[in-house]
Amino acid sequence: MNSVLHGVLAFVQTWWVELLCAVLIVAVVPLIAGYIVLVERKVMADMQARLGPMRVGPHGLLQPIADAVKLLLKEDLIPTNADQFIFWFAPVLSMTVALTSMGAVAFGPWFQVARDINIGLLFVVGISALGPLGIVLGGWASNNHYSIIGAMRSTAQLVSYETTAGFAIVSGLLFAGTLKVSAIVEAQHADRVWYAFLAPVGFITYLIASIAETNRAPFDIPEAESELVAGYMTEYSGFRWSLYFLGEYANMIVVGSIGVTLFLGGWLRPFPNVPWLGWLDALPTLFFVASGVFCVSRAGKQPVRVQQLLMWAVAAICFAVALLFMLAGPYEVQPLHRIYAGLYGAFWFLLKVGAYIYVFMWLRFTLPRFRFDQLMRLGWHILIPLALVNVIAVGVATALSSGLGMNRWLAMILTTGGTLLVGMLLIRWNDKHAAAASASTLAASSEVEDSYAG
Amino acid sequence: MLDSVIFYFFAGIAVISAALMITRSNAIHSAVFLITTLLATAGIFLQLRAEFLFIAQIILYVGGIMVLFVFVIMLVRLDVPLPRIRSPWGKLVAVFVAAAVAGEAGFILWLARKIPGQGLLAPLPAPSAKLPPNTEEFAKGLFGAYLLPFEIASVLLLVAMVGAVVMAKKRTDTP
B17 plus B50 within the same structural domain? yes
pLDDT confidence band for B153 (50 / 70 / 90) = very high
B70–A133 C-beta distance less than 8 A: yes
Same domain, A254 and A299: no
Do B50 and B126 reside in the same domain of the chain? no
Tell me if A447 is assigned to some domain: no
Claim to verify: residue A308 and residue A179 sit in the same structural domain: no
* Pair A36, A125 in one domain: yes
Q: What is the pLDDT of residue A446?
A: 47
Position A39 pLDDT exceeds 80: yes
The answer to whether residues B78 and B90 belong to one domain is: no
Asked if residue A446 belongs to a domain, the reply is no
The total of structural domains in chain B comes to 3
End-to-end CA distance of chain A: give it in Å, rounded.
62
Residue A172 belongs to a domain: yes
Length of chain A, in residues: 454
Q: Identify whether residues B17 and B28 lie together within a single domain.
A: yes
The mean of the pLDDT values for chain A is 80
More confident position, A270 or A273: A270
Query: Which of A7, A83, A119 lies nearest to residue B52, judging by beta carbons?
Result: A119
In a domain, A330, yes or no: yes
Search chain A and give the residue with CA nearest B174: A440
Residues B65 and B98 in one domain: no
Mean pLDDT value across chain B: 80
Pure H helices in A48-83: 63-73
Query: Which residue in the set A126, A148, A162 is minimally distant from B74, CB to CB?
Result: A148
Same domain (yes/no): A226, A353: no
Q: Are residues A340 and A352 in the same domain?
A: yes
Same domain, B138 and B93: no
Q: Is residue B71 domain-shared with residue B123, that is, in the same domain?
A: no
Q: Given CB atoms, is B32 within the 8 Å cutoff of chain A?
A: yes
Average pLDDT over residues A81-106: 85
Per-range mean pLDDT, top range of B31-35, B50-54, B118-122: B31-35
DSSP reduced 3-state for A446 = coil
Radius of gyration of chain B (CA): 21
Which residues constitute the domain of residue A356? 278-360
Considering the domain architecture, whether residues A348 and A371 belong to the same structural domain is answered as: no
Nearest to A328 by CA among A297, A382, A358, A284: A284
B125 and B142 both lie in a single domain: no
- Residue A227 pLDDT exceeds 90: no
Numbered residues of chain A with Cβ closer than 8 Å to any chain B Cβ: 7, 11, 83, 85-86, 89, 117-119, 122-123, 125-127, 129-130, 132-133, 136-137, 140-141, 148, 151-152, 155-156, 158-159, 162, 179, 440
One domain, residues A323 and A335: yes
- A347 contacts: CB under 8 Å, gap ≥ 6: A284, A287
Local confidence band at B130 (pLDDT 50, 70, 90 cut-offs):
low
| Interval A45-50 mean pLDDT | 87
Does one domain contain both A394 and A255? yes
In chain A, residues with a C-beta closer than 8 Å to the C-beta of B62 are 129-130, 133
Out of A328, A360, A392, pick the residue that ends a domain: A360
The count of domains in chain A is 2
- Output Rg (C-alpha) for chain A, integer angstroms: 24
pTM assigned to the model: 0.82
Residues A220 and A283 placed together within one structural domain of the fold: no
Q: Is the pLDDT of residue A450 over 60?
A: no
- Cα angle, residue A226 at apex, residues A221 and A230 outer, rounded to 5°: 65
Do the domain assignments include residue A416?
Answer: yes
- In this prediction, residue B14 carries a pLDDT of 92
Amino acid at A97: V
Residues in chain A closer than 8 A to B66 (CB atoms) = 133
Mean pLDDT calculated for residue range B12-20? 92
Answer yes or no: do A152 and B67 touch at CB < 8 A: no
Nearest-CA distance A214 → chain B (Å): 15
pLDDT, average across residues A335-340: 68
Mutate to test the interface with A, among B4, B20, B67, B140 (most CBs of A within 10 A): B67
Is residue A443 in a domain?
no
Instruction: Please tell me whether residues A368 and A356 are part of one structural domain.
Output: no
The reply to whether A69 and A136 lie within a common domain is: yes
Per the model's pLDDT, the better-predicted residue between B158 and B29 turns out to be B158
Size of interface A-B (CB pairs under 8 A): 74
When mean pLDDT is compared over A440-449, B2-11, B154-163, the highest value belongs to B154-163
From A11, A122, A132, residue closest to B67, measured CB to CB? A132
- Which pLDDT score, from 0 to 100, does residue B17 have? 92
Residues A166 and A198 grouped into a single domain: yes
Query: What pLDDT, on a 0 to 100 scale, did the predictor assign at position B102?
Result: 92
Whether A263 contacts A206, CB under 8 Å? yes
Q: Residue A364 — pLDDT band, cuts 50, 70, 90?
A: confident
The span from the CA of A34 to the CA of A72, in Å, is: 13
**Domain for residue A250, yes or no?**
yes
* Beta-carbon separation of A137 and B58 below 8 A: no
User: Which of B83, B105, B140 is the C-terminal boundary of a domain?
Assistant: B83
- Domain span at B34: 1-83
The torsion of the CA quartet A120, A123, A128, A129, rounded to 10 degrees, works out to 130
